[in-house]
Structure 1
Amino acid sequence: MNGLLKGKTILIAGAGGLLGSQIVPTALEQGAMVIAADLNIESMQKRLEGVGVDLNSGALSLVELDITSEESVKALFENKDKAIDGAVNTTYPRNKTYGKHFFDVTAASFNENMSLHLGSAFLFVQQAAEHFKRTEQPLSLVNISSIYGVIAPKFNIYDNTPMTMPVEYAAIKSAIQHLSKYAAAYVNDSRFRINCVSPGGIFDHQPEPFLDAYKWNTHGAGMLDVKEVVGTVLFLLSEQSRYVTGQNIIVDDGFSL
């Protein structure tokens, strides 16, 4: 897979997060010029340093991005001297009441989270499409959905834990898949591609009862290491997937079967 992204400029939104911070070093290893964007540059720098990224690399630039701000997202795509060849949106904006159990979620909180996450996903897709129209250079956009944008939650795996599967998450992640299809169909140009990756559960030090119950529903891997998702993202950014568009690729070791 050496040099899969050689000569390409790749924008990674949410580069200071769990998934984004793993895509950055792999994209650099594959020869890409990487624009790493996040809300807090200082915390993004720390996260990237922690996974071994050389912040002084001439192939890496760090930019501030508020994914929920129309002005910020527009500036990200407009102020580029060179066309962006690929973009990945790994951001995960949410409010302070996000993640409550179904009957405890207020309509106001639900609507705010839909606006923050789905609204910003729309904005990112729209501005990526505008960038393509302006530059007329091929662009591959990867959105991050989830297995819970595909199937109903398996609520029994949350037994004996304080966790739940947030209703906002399911609504947002399923909508992101259709948003991606809509935009790909609307632009209607094989040079502009949008696809989704839907990971299964990613290990982030969840409670042991949950980890055990989750693993029982897979083919043996259990929760995925975040690095297991990166290869699929890189495939979709590369020329290896040139005519793959409007698709959703599930990476879950059989959890959704």
Structure 2
Amino acid sequence: MSLTDRTIFITGSGGVLGSTYVRRMLAEGARVVATDLPGHRAEALQAAHEGNANFRFYTLDVGEEAQVEEIFQRVITDGWEPNVVLNNAAITGEMLMGAGKSFPDFCDTTVADFERTLHTNLTGAFMIARQMDRDIVGRYPATLINVASMYALNGAHHPIYDGMPFKNFSAYGVSKAGIHGLTVWLAGYWAPRKATVNTIAPGAVFNGHSDEFQRRVGELIMAGRMAKPDEIADAMLFLCSAQAGYITGQLLNVDGGFSAW
């Protein structure tokens, strides 16, 4: 699938899925504008694609309104005009708690942690979309893809987390449900300006999980296993392509059948 006519802007590019999207999109000929917080993930991503003329990296915190308000103009001024945007940046419960900290029960979840998660995952996605509206939508046909989760419209199976060092974090699922609400609202609002908006909901993606956790999750999935990052990227590449031009306002579950059971 060729993406040579695509300039793709991605938030949260340094994670396991974000970095896979970058690699695969570059391989298909897209120009990729990758963004993330400063740190080791950003450094590794830049090192991996150093020297690729189709790759650019910008530091961006999607929770900081001032940074979001200037990002597209910076990119456009540098000669790159994104026609596809991926709202991929997100805080997970594991990231929020940090290494070595105990994971709180629901009753011990602080308002600050809940609101911080919503601010990055949902308000950040809103701010990126709002800036698309100001700087991109209507200038040329454009696509927005919002990244949700298998837990956006499905309840978590809490017993699979028993005895694990992490749990399913309530604010994560809430924020990802809101992501699809943003999608369907924008899809109708932008349709007259030739912009499409869709949600992709990845399933459980393997990222060094224990054998026991893989077994528990696999029992909930028709495919019987967790996803490989490239399997999520396969669907993402289609949504980014011209072949998806008649698809808007939709949620695509890429979850091995989890949501169908």
- Name the TM-score, length of structure 2 as normaliser: 0.89
Aligned to 1:67: 62
Candidates 127, 144, 150, aligned match of 1:123? 127
- What is the deviation of 1:160? 3.1
Q: Which amino acid aligns with 1:153?
A: A
Alignment match, 2:110: 106
- Residue 25 of structure 1 is matched in structure 2 by 23
Instruction: Give yes or no for contact 1:159–1:210 (8 Å, CA) kept in 2.
Output: no
**1:223 match: secondary structure:** coil
- Contact 2:10–2:87 (CA<8 Å) still a contact in 1? yes
Alignment of 1:68-87 (within 5 A): 68-79=63-74, 80=76, 81-87=79-85
Distance 1:190 1:248, change over 3 A: farther
Which residue, 33, 36, 60 being the options, matches 1:35? Answer: 33
Q: For residues 135 and 223 of structure 2, what CA distance do their matches in structure 1 show?
A: 42
- Show the counterpart of 1:196: 199
Flag the 1:116–1:13 CA change in 2: closer, same or farther, 3 A.
Answer: closer
Structure 1 gaps, min length 5: none
Per mean C-alpha deviation after superposition, the further-off stretch among 157-166 and 90-99 is 90-99
Q: How does 1:124-203 map to 2 (within 5 A)?
A: 124-133=128-137, 136-189=139-192, 191-203=194-206
TM-score norm. by structure 1 comes to 0.90
Change (3 A) 1:115 1:219: same
| 8 Å CA contact retained: 1:67, 1:120 | yes
Matching residue's letter, 1:168:
A
CA distance in 1, matches of 2:248, 2:39: 32
CA 1:136–1:23 in structure 2 vs 1: closer, same or farther (change >3 Å)? same
Which residue is 1:242 aligned to?
245
* Larger CA deviation: 170-179 vs 201-210: 201-210
Q: Deviations over 1:119-178 (max 9, x none)?
A: 111111111222234x62111111110110011111122233233211001100000000
* CA gap 1:242/1:109 in 2 versus in 1, 3 angstroms: same
Q: Displacement of 1:100 after TM fit?
A: 2.9
Aligned ranges 1:208-247 → 2 under 5 Å: 208-247=211-250
TM-superposed CA distance for 1:109, in Å, is 2.5
Paired letter, 1:45? E
Q: State the alpha-carbon separation in 2 of the partners of residues 202 and 115 from structure 1.
A: 24
Gaps of 5+ in 2: none
Q: Is the 8 A contact 1:219 1:254 kept in 2?
A: yes
1:161·1:207 contact (CA, 8 Å) conserved in 2?
Answer: no
Tell me how far 1:97 sits from its aligned partner. 4.3
Measure, in 1, the Cα distance between the counterparts of 2:26 and 2:119: 32
2:4 equivalent in structure 1: 6
Give the paired residue count: 251
Q: Deviations over 1:16-40 (max 9, x none)?
A: 1111101111111111111111111
2: distance between equivalents of 1:213 and 1:129?
42
Change beyond 3 A, Cα 1:5–1:97: same
Name the CA shift for 1:46/1:233 in 2 (closer, same or farther; >3 Å).
same
Please give the alpha-carbon distance, in whole angstroms, between the structure 2 residues aligned to 1:229 and 1:6: 20
Using a 3 Å threshold, how does the CA distance of structure 1 residues 104 and 137 change in structure 2: closer, same or farther? same
User: Partners of 1:57 and 1:41 in 2: how far apart?
Assistant: 21
Are 1:6 and 1:31, in contact at CA under 8 Å, matched by a contact in 2? yes
Give distance in 2, aligned partners of 1:208 and 1:221: 13
